[in-house]
Chain A
């Protein structure tokens, strides 16, 4: 049987986690290719509908990652992201997605190692959950 290879969409903040991804690359830290990163300027601009959209279009998991609390380049965007993700998780179930499919982390610009470890974890976690079973015809 073919092993399940999940697709993870990453929304990474330009100022920290996206930079950490560059650092992970420069440091040649390998991580699974399952993750596909979208560059955002701040986790505070990650509209919850992007996350839903990704899941509805077939992503098996979503990783949102921004600056550590207090380090936001835009003062407090990461706090807004935290609230939005928390709220989103309360309704994910209604779309038929386990809340473990969405994860929010703080990874600073110098945390290349933490980034690769986090990606490994998320991929493992989503593999354990298996493919998304809900195939709705919903479009947003």
Chain B
């Protein structure tokens, strides 16, 4: 049967016809082979236009139809359906030529446009006859929906889906849902508080059985297609189990102080935290990174970050307890330690390392060791002899005593301390410090025999006869005696030979660590090996063998360097306390040369710590938690969920105005961003809802209410240097701020708005504008140029474009209405979901007017400010729209997928299997029986990786076959 082609060119009103002589094109196409009908029509997509095609198909027996009109992305489906209604297979019969987007709208010359339209139409005529019957495959739809982002958009969409009886998975990156809306105070124009209308939504989400809330989680990978997505969710470890009651006891004891992101840094929080009191879920969360460099560098593994934090909080006794978990002599080490921790302190990237050793010394000096309580020790019968009382001897004695052993120290001299006392001058380490600390250790119940020389007064046999089941040697082997001890092997350097893992000498039950086995080294290193010896001795006595220690893997895998990111606004600390430099001073007496920190200095110094590890793992919270909900070893989990549709509601980032130096944000204390102002005004914020000025000296302190304030609109919006777009919410929240300032700080407060245009477009917005104007707020039409500090006030310079004059107004407080920006990681998120971003950087909707929630990826929908700046009402409306799209899909229960997928002709395939390697979806399998490759039609997406490579030409993408493309090329080049 010969082909009978019908060609239709659309005027599109005048959109095509004003540049393309459509009649001429139709007349030209009529002359082409197989064309039996060629018409032009005003609106092909209209009902009469479609009926025209259907009638022609029936009346003239058309086998193929070509419409030359707009982009196929617009109306291909419309015309395919028309062909189907007239009984043709739509994929076989229909081809569309774009003569609007690709011709009339982009071509200036009428002749050229008409000529191009003829060529494109001709290529279509050439191509269409090679098209074949195709039938879309239908798949069942999984009725679950994934909602990404727990702001107001995500919450609303999830609630709507759940109320329709479908399941929603709500994934939120932060530990709580709520999003930006819950950070705000009042909402315009009604002035109802965001929490009052927001927290009930949060609670509903938490209680709704159809919503599975995955907080503190992120979407890692999305596979599958519309109706059948498999999504991998990474559930970050909260380190706190679900049985957390939210009592907050952990927070009280935590030593790590970190700026609270929820309060945009205006307030501090602990490493164990809940962003704000009404958080959903109520479960606390511990912020953890890799172990801080100071901790992992300390040979003894002292929890440096932890005790520095405790010093910052003034909890010196807690700090000493934490230090003494690893170092028995904090005041001593606080003076003589070479402090390798300070060399790796990340603070040096900003100014200089935190003075960790001085802080340790300071904390020790605050504690009276004569009255410092001794923990209760559960005694056990085994006796341990420690010979020598240097750093390793004292450490072994102390830590074994803490385990309950009966410890006796044998010392040749009259006093304990060994090398610590002998080798360190009093000007560096006063003997009183050492005495106090040693006495404190002895108070734990350690027995001492001084004046007992090893070798002459006592030897190993004696000790063993006296019933000591473990012996630890901290002796100077290079002097003389030990060479005579039978069975005790020495190295060439006259040091005790020990097993590197167990620290056991050549005699069973006799151990050594520290200086006797190394050349004299820093005390902290002796303490390090003492800890290992303690572990070995304990194991030896308990199990009568050292197998467990021997089997232990040698070196632990070093922890990573994924530390808490340095805060971008971090500045050099204003002053470094001077007394730490006093070490250089020569003294003429035996007094200690370095006076050390005073309390203010110490706490200030401690506050410079950057808390690299987040949580310092001091585990004080574990003890404090009555519910036993804390699990510091909680692993991160991955879960794969099946969903049919995805709603992306990831929101926006507020613009950081620091780079706009003319506004002085970050430099001038009382220049606030809008979000900071919201937190200030919010009852859970830093001031409990009072609008107060920031203390110039301490940004975390707030003083008195401002007498005057300036609100600067369009910071980063409508500005070609930043964002061309309007952020749509600033005019309205600026008016709200003006009202709040008048309301909370008194009606005599002078409030100035510097605006470009007032855009009060929504329901009740214009009325709110009038109301605020009537409250006496001054409106100045002109964008502020700069802010300077003058006589303790902030002087705003602007051009008043209405009076054509420059104005300078001094105020107490300035609020910058910053732009809404795409999330900083939007490109990565776009890739994960296979969606695109537009020129403004926000996610791109399928059509700006008619498909505002769909995306280029079928089954993925958008809601809220991730698609463009939006206020709360618009966000909620769009969320409901996205939910209805998802529900429509779930309710239909099936979805048809475009049939343009690959096909491998088994008669041609040579079985080379190249395509199998190329396929990004692993959709091709090799059939051993036929020795050919075969496409799995359910998995293939029709990308054509195989067809473009297939050496034999067996692999083809349906609807994009070589014949079709070749004919189109030939057609294009024939004209």
Q: B107 contacts A30, CB within 8 Å?
A: yes
Q: A50 contacts B965, CB within 8 Å?
A: yes
| A108 surroundings in chain B (CB, below 8 A) | 836-837
Partner pick for A38 among B105, B857, B968, CB 8 A cutoff: B968
Q: A45 contacts B945, CB within 8 Å?
A: yes
Q: B106 contacts A80, CB within 8 Å?
A: no
Q: A25 contacts B918, CB within 8 Å?
A: no
Q: A31 contacts B106, CB within 8 Å?
A: yes
Assembled-state Cα–Cα distance A66/B389 (Å): 75
| A73 surroundings in chain B (CB, below 8 A) | 834, 856-857, 943
In the assembled complex, B347 has its CB within 8 A of some CB on chain A: no
User: Which residue of A is nearest B846, CB measured?
Assistant: A19
In the assembled complex, B947 has its CB within 8 A of some CB on chain A: yes
Q: B107 contacts A33, CB within 8 Å?
A: yes
Q: B119 contacts A116, CB within 8 Å?
A: no
In the assembled complex, A124 has its CB within 8 A of some CB on chain B: no
Q: A74 contacts B941, CB within 8 Å?
A: yes
In the assembled complex, B882 has its CB within 8 A of some CB on chain A: no
Q: B948 contacts A44, CB within 8 Å?
A: yes
Assembled-state Cα–Cα distance A49/B952 (Å): 13
Q: A22 contacts B945, CB within 8 Å?
A: no
Partner pick for B973 among A9, A30, A74, CB 8 A cutoff: A9
Q: B945 contacts A44, CB within 8 Å?
A: yes
Q: A45 contacts B108, CB within 8 Å?
A: no
In the assembled complex, B120 has its CB within 8 A of some CB on chain A: yes
Which residues of chain B from 933 to 958 have a CB within 8 Å of any chain A CB?
Answer: 941-945, 947-949, 957
Assembled-state Cα–Cα distance A108/B827 (Å): 12
| B941 surroundings in chain A (CB, below 8 A) | 74
Q: A33 contacts B109, CB within 8 Å?
A: yes
Distance in angstroms from A68 CB to nearest chain B CB is 9
Q: A9-50 interface mask toward B, CB cutoff 8 Å, 1 = contact, 0 = none?
A: 100001110110110111011110100111111101111111
Assembled-state Cα–Cα distance A75/B942 (Å): 12
Which residues of chain B from 402 to 457 have a CB within 8 Å of any chain A CB?
Answer: none
Distance in angstroms from B596 CB to nearest chain A CB is 55
Q: A25 and B836 in contact (CB under 8 A), knowing A7-B973, A45-B943?
A: no
Stretch binding the partner chain, chosen from B96-104, B191-199, B203-211, B474-482: B96-104
Q: A42 and B102 in contact (CB under 8 A), knowing A47-B962, A57-B973?
A: no
Q: A41 contacts B856, CB within 8 Å?
A: no
Assembled-state Cα–Cα distance A21/B944 (Å): 22
Q: A77 contacts B836, CB within 8 Å?
A: no
Q: B918 contacts A33, CB within 8 Å?
A: no
Q: B123-156 interface mask toward A, CB cutoff 8 Å, 1 = contact, 0 = none?
A: 1000000000000000000000000000000000
Q: A41 and B116 in contact (CB under 8 A), knowing A19-B73, A110-B844?
A: no
Q: B106 contacts A28, CB within 8 Å?
A: yes
Q: A41 and B836 in contact (CB under 8 A), knowing A24-B106, A33-B103, A36-B972?
A: no
Q: B920 contacts A76, CB within 8 Å?
A: yes
Assembled-state Cα–Cα distance A12/B18 (Å): 26
Q: B947 contacts A45, CB within 8 Å?
A: yes
Q: B105 contacts A50, CB within 8 Å?
A: no
User: Which residue of A is nearest B73, CB measured?
Assistant: A22
Partner pick for B945 among A31, A58, A80, CB 8 A cutoff: A80
Which residues of chain B from 837 to 854 have a CB within 8 Å of any chain A CB?
Answer: 837-839, 844
In the assembled complex, B966 has its CB within 8 A of some CB on chain A: yes
| A75 surroundings in chain B (CB, below 8 A) | 920-921, 943
User: Which residue of A is nearest B857, CB measured?
Assistant: A73
Q: B831 contacts A70, CB within 8 Å?
A: yes
Distance in angstroms from B832 CB to nearest chain A CB is 11
Assembled-state Cα–Cα distance A94/B965 (Å): 24
Q: B965 contacts A38, CB within 8 Å?
A: yes
| A26 surroundings in chain B (CB, below 8 A) | 101, 105
Distance in angstroms from A8 CB to nearest chain B CB is 10
Assembled-state Cα–Cα distance A31/B839 (Å): 20
Assembled-state Cα–Cα distance A37/B71 (Å): 12
Partner pick for A30 among B106, B918, B966, B972, CB 8 A cutoff: B106
In the assembled complex, A54 has its CB within 8 A of some CB on chain B: yes
Distance in angstroms from A87 CB to nearest chain B CB is 11
Q: B948 contacts A47, CB within 8 Å?
A: yes
Partner pick for A25 among B105, B838, B947, CB 8 A cutoff: B105
Q: A73-90 interface mask toward B, CB cutoff 8 Å, 1 = contact, 0 = none?
A: 111110011001000000
Assembled-state Cα–Cα distance A47/B972 (Å): 18
Q: B112 contacts A33, CB within 8 Å?
A: yes
User: Which residue of A is nearest B966, CB measured?
Assistant: A53
Q: B920 contacts A33, CB within 8 Å?
A: no
Q: A16 contacts B973, CB within 8 Å?
A: no
In the assembled complex, B297 has its CB within 8 A of some CB on chain A: no
Assembled-state Cα–Cα distance A37/B857 (Å): 23
| B972 surroundings in chain A (CB, below 8 A) | 7, 9, 36, 38, 54, 59
Q: A22 and B968 in contact (CB under 8 A), knowing A45-B948, A75-B920?
A: no
Which residues of chain B from 876 to 931 have a CB within 8 Å of any chain A CB?
Answer: 900, 918, 920-921
Distance in angstroms from A27 CB to nearest chain B CB is 8
Q: A109 and B836 in contact (CB under 8 A), knowing A44-B948, A45-B948?
A: yes
Q: A44 contacts B943, CB within 8 Å?
A: yes
| A7 surroundings in chain B (CB, below 8 A) | 972-973
Q: A25 and B945 in contact (CB under 8 A), knowing A41-B957, A50-B969, A109-B836?
A: no
Q: A74 contacts B945, CB within 8 Å?
A: yes
Assembled-state Cα–Cα distance A14/B942 (Å): 12
| A39 surroundings in chain B (CB, below 8 A) | 72
Q: B836 contacts A37, CB within 8 Å?
A: no
In the assembled complex, B970 has its CB within 8 A of some CB on chain A: yes
| A36 surroundings in chain B (CB, below 8 A) | 116, 119-120, 123, 972
Name which of B115, B120, B836, B962 has the most chain A CB atoms within 10 A of its CB: B836
Q: B856 contacts A45, CB within 8 Å?
A: no
Q: A41 contacts B942, CB within 8 Å?
A: yes
In the assembled complex, A71 has its CB within 8 A of some CB on chain B: yes
Assembled-state Cα–Cα distance A15/B836 (Å): 9
Distance in angstroms from B624 CB to nearest chain A CB is 46
Q: B947 contacts A38, CB within 8 Å?
A: no
Distance in angstroms from A18 CB to nearest chain B CB is 8
User: Which residue of B is nearest A39, CB measured?
Assistant: B72
| A31 surroundings in chain B (CB, below 8 A) | 106
Assembled-state Cα–Cα distance A77/B72 (Å): 22
| A59 surroundings in chain B (CB, below 8 A) | 969, 972-973
Distance in angstroms from B720 CB to nearest chain A CB is 14
Partner pick for A109 among B102, B109, B844, B973, CB 8 A cutoff: B844
Partner pick for B970 among A47, A57, A70, A84, CB 8 A cutoff: A57
Assembled-state Cα–Cα distance A57/B113 (Å): 22
Q: A28 contacts B943, CB within 8 Å?
A: no
| A19 surroundings in chain B (CB, below 8 A) | 73, 836, 856
In the assembled complex, B960 has its CB within 8 A of some CB on chain A: yes
| A53 surroundings in chain B (CB, below 8 A) | 966, 969
Assembled-state Cα–Cα distance A25/B944 (Å): 27
Distance in angstroms from A49 CB to nearest chain B CB is 8
Q: B960 contacts A45, CB within 8 Å?
A: yes
Assembled-state Cα–Cα distance A24/B831 (Å): 24
Assembled-state Cα–Cα distance A45/B965 (Å): 11
Assembled-state Cα–Cα distance A110/B972 (Å): 27
| A57 surroundings in chain B (CB, below 8 A) | 969-970, 973
Which residues of chain B from 473 to 495 have a CB within 8 Å of any chain A CB?
Answer: none
Assembled-state Cα–Cα distance A28/B18 (Å): 13
Q: Would you give 14 A-B contacts (Cβ < 8 Å), ordered by A?
A: A9-B972, A21-B101, A33-B103, A33-B107, A33-B113, A37-B98, A41-B900, A54-B969, A59-B972, A71-B831, A81-B948, A109-B836, A109-B844, A110-B836
User: A: which residues have CB within 8 A of B?
Assistant: 7, 9, 14-16, 18-19, 21-22, 24-26, 28-31, 33, 36-42, 44-50, 53-54, 57-59, 70-71, 73-77, 80-81, 84, 108-111, 116
Other CB < 8 Å A-B pairs besides A41-B957, A45-B948, A77-B944, 14 of them?
Answer: A24-B101, A33-B109, A33-B112, A38-B123, A45-B960, A53-B966, A53-B969, A54-B973, A71-B830, A73-B856, A74-B945, A75-B943, A84-B949, A108-B837
**What are the nearest 4 A-B pairs in CB distance?**
A45-B944, A25-B101, A74-B943, A25-B105
